[in-house]
Structure 1
Amino acid sequence: MHQNKKNLTRILLAGVLLLNLFIVGLLAYTLHASKVRKEEEVRTMVENLALLLDQSVSSSVREIDLALKEIQVRLEGDLRRKGLPGAGDTMAVVDFHQDWLTQVAEIRITDASGAPILGYGVTPQTRVSYADRSFFAEHRDHVDRGLIASKLLYGRIAGTWIIVFSRRYNNPDGDFAGMVTAAVPAAYFERLLSGLKLGDHGIALMRDLDKTMIARFPPLATQAGEIGTRGGSKELTDIIASGVEAQSFYSARTADGVNRINAYRKLSVMPAFVVVGRGEDDYLVQWRDDVQKGTALAILFLAVTSLAAWLLWRLIEANERANRRSQILLQNASDGIHITDLEGSVIEASDAFCRMLGHDRADVIGMNVAQWEAGMSAEEARGIIDRVHRSGDVFTFETMHRRSDGETFPVEVTSFPLQLDDKPVLFHSARDITLRKSSEEAVRKLAFFDPLTGLPNRRLLMERLEHALANCARLGEHGALLFVDLDNFKSVNDTAGHDQGDLLLQAVAAILGRCVRHDDTVARLGGDEFVVMLDGLGRYSMVAAGHAETVATKILHALHKTFELGGSEHRVSASIGITLFGDHPGERIEEPLKRADLAMYEAKLAGRNTLRFFDPVMQARVSTRAELESALWVGLEKEQFLLQYQPQVLADGRITGAEALLRWRHPERGMVSPAEFIPLAEENGFILPLGRWVLESACAQLAHWAHDARMAHLSVAVNVSARQFRQDAFVAEVIEILERSGANPARLKIELTENSLVTDIEGVIAKMAALKARGVGFLLDDFGTGYSSLAYLKRLPLDQIKIDQGFVRDILVDPNDAAIAKMVIVLADSLGLAVIAEGVETEAQRLFLEQQGCVAYQGYLFSRPLAVPDLESLVDASQRLA
């Protein structure tokens, strides 16, 4: 025994050690993987921000270049006509562009010698020259260098650090006449950088390709952070030397002493690059907190496992002591305890078991189970022993035992296997728990069930209601109580007798049970009052109310019938009060029952044979919702739905397509707003047949237009809901509709909203790719109003992005909306996607969008949504004008 204890101690120590090593290793691996994932997220973020900076700088430079081009053309015209630069209306053009670019650049004009002659800050006393600038020599010595962007310079007129963008203008004979320049202060680029949110330790900077600092945000109060100084980490130097356009890298202990993940990107329009960095102290805050928590948990786990091992050791010692006491306890046990080997022979028995069989203990030891077993054969008894031994579980069964005098009696035997002196044995406990069992069952039925109907009574209902309220609080769900009271039940008792009234109550109980789910509760409170409890009706109150109303209506219809009672027929109906529960987790269990009771009396006052909700507002909403839900199906069956088409127009006025917009012409309510019925259709699944009808109708119209030379070029955009698009059979459904209708897939555009993309991105891409292979186009609707990940966006096989009308509406008065619209256009251009703006209502809005590069529009400026004949007339008229 002492050697066994030593071996056991070694095993416990080794087990604790190995388990803790495993947990520490698993924790270390998990934390490392978490850090790697976070670093990848940061790399993607800073790369995207560097790309956006490049696009933003490119957009500004394009605006500057357009201004310089126009001034160049005006100057050369002046030289041809007047022989002098600026002799015509050139100065007005310069002033116009200077006003337009007042926050960005200073425009000046030089003569062939490099001396400034016109422009911002130039006076007759100006005595500076550009002749020593490298870009001046480039323009002077080469006929067509286009736009040249200088390196960082110190402006002798501006008196600050600048970058000069310049174009050459020529005399009529083609000789060099001078330059048009736009001096952009370094502070402008700092403002661009300051718009990025990079945390407390982030950085954004711009340098020349020779690593001269142009701008930095936040500023660094050391010489290394000053504008015009040269510097940069070894990692940055290596990247520039490699000639790559863009790359992310890690820098440790930079000039400001911060470790960062950075993204380098060479600018496409000027000899410079940007670096966007995120500080390690920002993006690893949560990870470091997780490391601390993980370390604390590892220490706690070590303590717990050590304590558990110690407790297990104590338990083993306690078991040894218990084995010594077992013999004493066995002899004094009240149950018929006996231990047998696997052959069924008794090894040990309690005195109570010996008395139960009527044998002396000496006779019982060694007896086989077959000698007292009267409820099964020897083979069946052997099967029970084998089953208990193989399963290793506790097994309880009922059988009959035989006493020494031959009398048999029922027993309940509980058996389970155990090891005794390292040998497998079976432990049995026989109890004579029948008279008492039947007594307990009778008491339970009296306490919890109605003796007439067999339904749960008030006490059991309240217990189940308490449990349901706890579930609702834990899961955030709703349930409902239906208080059912028979109408005019007293007259049944008075005319047919109380015995017939009892039969009616039993019949009603059976009907109620058939109207509900298996897990619902139907209870009788007394008299003709019944309560139905519906549990697990979902998180949304209106959905739960709809379920409750459905069940209550089913009950009303089932009870509204004629019963044969006492030789005569009696019509029966009921009044039902409904209340929801689950909105108030702390309410007492009596409250829902009181509300349902009050609602039932409202149903009585309303004329009986009806139902009422406790909340009148909910009653009205449920009724309205039910009516609208029913009307939707009728509307689809009776062809009340129709499509109108809103033209999509290019800048030159050509109509290239139309968006199909669903309308519902109700025979009584008139035109029903889509905002009223589309959310309901999404919720109850009606959007699936309705969406299929829209696709079928739009494709049929495309097939029809294909035979009309005026309309054959039009495309049709169809909105597809997220629920519809997520169907497994969506791709097959669209292909089947196209093939059956004969529509050209290349004329069909499917509009998806951003919420269609936020889950199962791989499945979304697969479906889009399958339809793209057939020629179907895709348009992203409501872009910018939700969650748009650039990492996902660039993977999606889109054709077009739609600028949401919410941005277009205030584009002329809200700088934020204007900036968002501009950025969408730049982003789409960088991804090779077309852009269309919706909700264009004024010519000023259209002109602004055109200036930003958007040339496709949709809105009331061009046309409201039209019926097919009106659209065809509009297309015909636009073609005649063209």
Structure 2
Amino acid sequence: MIKDKQQIEILNLLLDSTIEGIVVFDEQRKAIRSNKNFARLFGYNDKEIIGKNAFDFIAPESHEMVKKKIIISDQEPYEALMRKKDGSKFWAILRGKESIISGKQVRISAIIDISSIKEKEEKILYLANHDSLTGTYNRRFFQEILTQRIEVLQQMGHYGAILFIDLDDFKEINDTLGHDTGDTVLIEMTRRLKECAGKSDIVARIGGDEFVVLLNLDTSGINEAAYKAEIIAEKNLERIKLSLHLEDRDLRINASIGIAIIDRNATVSDLMKFADIAMYQAKRTGKNRIVFFDKELQKDLEERIRTIINLRKAIKTNAFKLLFQKQIQLGSGTHNTVGLEALIRWVDNGKIISPGFFIPLAEESGLIIEIGDFVLQKVCQILRNWKKNNTKKSWRISVNISIIQFEERLFVEKIKKLIETHKIDPQKLRLEITENLLMHSIEENFIKIRQLKELGITLSIDDFGTGFSSLMYLKKLPVDELKIDRSFVSDIDSNESDRIIVETIASLGRKFGLEVIAEGVENEKQLQVIRQLGITHVQGYLFSKPVEINVIGN
């Protein structure tokens, strides 16, 4: 009897010493035991918990999901919204396990409060998707919404439209009245555009004085769609032109508007380009007017087709070369090179063409597979040669992997064969994948990622903060590094939003035990802020420009 009592006391001590909230439910899902942390999390005392149904602690929004987890006896951790005694809610990670105690079936649940982490996740997502000045959507998120809207319109057989709006002579306002006044004008213009927008229309600021409005025209006739779009554009133009009283002066703002109709063959890049072309045509023909995209303005589109044709020829003639940029580990005195990033360039008639121009076209045309194979082959050859170099044999090389490339059916087998053929240390090959890849074919891509890790490959999430990645993905995925996009680093010494984003990413990286590297570090001011935020790995022109492999010394 005394021994049983001691065992119970030890069990109670163990339960109350864990950081998780622990609760035990009987076969009827009634609580029969809990620890102190569980009571603290939910605001109950020990006696109030006993007898309560498991779903008394789950917020209604998560009921169905939790039921499914219980039915299939899923023991993997998952996120759910919980409900406290006072009705307030918080996010938690749950783990549940069915067990037998004294011949009776019970379910033991462990709960960790992740409210603070979820708040950071929401904050970083908001900052990454919204314009910091006006609070409306930014270019990146607008394009994501546009992608989804195109699919819906095509399924319904309806037309939509994009209004591309640029304020006329806005630079003069900034130059003569100052940027504070300019910011006030932009905020007011955003408000006016939102007033003109319908319930399902989307307004975004995509540049300094550039706005776009996505219109849902609710019609299957092209002529009616054009008519509706023009009426709405005229309404926006008139609303923008209304006098704006600021302090002791009245301002009158004009705008040029380009319209592109979203038809059945529309793509995001084409629509943005067509609307932009139409807007510049409005400016060229006198400003303060509306212009529809004209099919005769398709010079850019024709140029794109020519580029894809030339790209095919470039693959056949091996007209590509690799440049490499150092990745640096910061020290108190000297800095150490820990690796390189491989950067591809296209040499066309002696002219170097930026990947920012040809990679999207390569992805669209499927040519990215052959280009990616070329890069991986060259990088593995270099890693093989480095095995005899006392300094470089410890370096890694990072390679950007396109979504299309990654989702190729035999991608993992291709990597495995390269490792075996060149007899390289797989840990020296780091593959950079984007956040958006995590939202494509989720289960299949997760399996591939785990297979790559089993090979010994290290993985980096490139441009982190510019897409969408759940914290649960970070928790589950065996990645090694978060790479902070250069767009957040370029103004980090002067833009508070960028600093907050970078600080949050660095904090997340530390919490998940990941390396964090900041790319695009070009001056000492940026480096100083990066250091202050505790980031120890950097990459950028301050340390090394992209150069050919034979130029890089030890």
Corresponding residue number in structure 2 for 1:616: 296
CA contact (8 A) 1:477 1:538 kept: no
Corresponding residue number in structure 1 for 2:90: 262
Change in Cα spacing, 1:820 to 1:638, as seen in structure 2 (3 Å) is: same
The Cα offsets for residues 325-345 of structure 1, whole Å up to 9 and x where unpaired, read as xxxxxxxxxxxxxxxxxxxxx
1:660 aligns with 2:387: no
Match of 2:388, SS? coil
1:829 aligns with 2:482: no
Matches within 5 A, 1:67-466: 232-234=43-45, 249-252=82-85, 254=86, 259-262=87-90
Change in Cα spacing, 1:235 to 1:837, as seen in structure 2 (3 Å) is: farther
Distance in 2 between residues matched to 1:707 and 1:786, nearest whole Å: 40
CA contact (8 A) 1:537 1:543 kept: no
Change in Cα spacing, 1:701 to 1:264, as seen in structure 2 (3 Å) is: closer
Corresponding residue number in structure 1 for 2:322: 643
Q: Among residues 685, 699, 703, which one is paired with 2:380 in the alignment?
A: 699
Distance in 1 between residues matched to 2:113 and 2:376, nearest whole Å: 47
1:775 aligns with 2:502: no
1:632 aligns with 2:311: yes
Q: Among residues 811, 820, 838, which one is paired with 2:492 in the alignment?
A: 811
2:340 maps to a residue whose letter is A
Distance apart, 1:794 and its partner CA: 1.1
Match of 1:794, SS? helix
Corresponding residue number in structure 1 for 2:473: 792
CA contact (8 A) 2:518 2:537 kept: yes
Corresponding residue number in structure 1 for 2:536: 855
The Cα offsets for residues 579-629 of structure 1, whole Å up to 9 and x where unpaired, read as xxxxxxxxxxxxxxxxxxxxxxxxxxxxxxxxxxx83321x2343123211
Distance in 2 between residues matched to 1:541 and 1:818, nearest whole Å: 30
Distance apart, 1:679 and its partner CA: 0.9
Distance in 2 between residues matched to 1:825 and 1:235, nearest whole Å: 39
CA contact (8 A) 1:778 1:798 kept: yes
Corresponding residue number in structure 1 for 2:157: 475
Change in Cα spacing, 1:823 to 1:276, as seen in structure 2 (3 Å) is: closer
CA contact (8 A) 1:754 1:781 kept: yes
Change in Cα spacing, 1:646 to 1:476, as seen in structure 2 (3 Å) is: farther
Larger RCO: Structure 1 or Structure 2 (Cα < 8 Å, ≥ 6 residues apart)? 2
1:704 maps to a residue whose letter is N
Distance apart, 1:861 and its partner CA: 1.0
Change in Cα spacing, 1:477 to 1:674, as seen in structure 2 (3 Å) is: farther
Match of 1:864, SS? coil
Match of 1:779, SS? strand
TM-score calculated relative to the size of structure 2: 0.51
Distance in 1 between residues matched to 2:154 and 2:463, nearest whole Å: 37
Corresponding residue number in structure 1 for 2:266: 539
Count of residues paired in the alignment: 313
CA contact (8 A) 1:746 1:775 kept: yes
CA contact (8 A) 1:647 1:863 kept: yes
2:349 maps to a residue whose letter is P
CA contact (8 A) 1:811 1:818 kept: yes
Distance in 1 between residues matched to 2:268 and 2:496, nearest whole Å: 41
The Cα offsets for residues 143-194 of structure 1, whole Å up to 9 and x where unpaired, read as xxxxxxxxxxxxxxxxxxxxxxxxxxxxxxxxxxxxxxxxxxxxxxxxxxxx
CA contact (8 A) 1:765 1:797 kept: no
RMSD over equivalenced CA pairs, Å:
3.8
TM-score calculated relative to the size of structure 1: 0.33
Change in Cα spacing, 1:846 to 1:473, as seen in structure 2 (3 Å) is: closer
Distance apart, 1:638 and its partner CA: 1.5
The Cα offsets for residues 680-700 of structure 1, whole Å up to 9 and x where unpaired, read as 111111111111111111111
CA contact (8 A) 2:157 2:264 kept: no
The Cα offsets for residues 433-453 of structure 1, whole Å up to 9 and x where unpaired, read as xxxxxxxxxxxxxxxxxxxxx
Distance in 1 between residues matched to 2:511 and 2:312, nearest whole Å: 45
**Pair member with larger Rg:** 1
Distance apart, 1:477 and its partner CA: 8.9
Change in Cα spacing, 1:617 to 1:832, as seen in structure 2 (3 Å) is: same
1:739 maps to a residue whose letter is E
Corresponding residue number in structure 2 for 1:743: 424
2:412 maps to a residue whose letter is V
Distance apart, 1:472 and its partner CA: 7.9
Corresponding residue number in structure 1 for 2:370: 689
Matches within 5 A, 1:551-570: none
Distance apart, 1:238 and its partner CA: 6.4
Change in Cα spacing, 1:772 to 1:235, as seen in structure 2 (3 Å) is: same
Q: Percent identity?
A: 31
The Cα offsets for residues 5-56 of structure 1, whole Å up to 9 and x where unpaired, read as xxxxxxxxxxxxxxxxxxxxxxxxxxxxxxxxxxxxxxxxxxxxx99xxxxx
Change in Cα spacing, 1:829 to 1:667, as seen in structure 2 (3 Å) is: same
Match of 1:846, SS? helix
Distance apart, 1:759 and its partner CA: 2.2
Distance in 2 between residues matched to 1:237 and 1:839, nearest whole Å: 56
Distance in 1 between residues matched to 2:364 and 2:407, nearest whole Å: 14
Distance apart, 1:261 and its partner CA: 3.1
Change in Cα spacing, 1:848 to 1:617, as seen in structure 2 (3 Å) is: same
Corresponding residue number in structure 2 for 1:676: 357
Distance in 2 between residues matched to 1:675 and 1:780, nearest whole Å: 19
CA contact (8 A) 1:264 1:275 kept: yes
User: Gaps spanning 5+ residues in structure 2: where?
Assistant: 1-18, 21-35, 51-78, 94-111, 117-152, 161-262, 272-293
1:834 maps to a residue whose letter is E
Distance in 1 between residues matched to 2:154 and 2:394, nearest whole Å: 57
Distance apart, 1:660 and its partner CA: 0.3
Change in Cα spacing, 1:473 to 1:780, as seen in structure 2 (3 Å) is: closer
Corresponding residue number in structure 2 for 1:842: 523
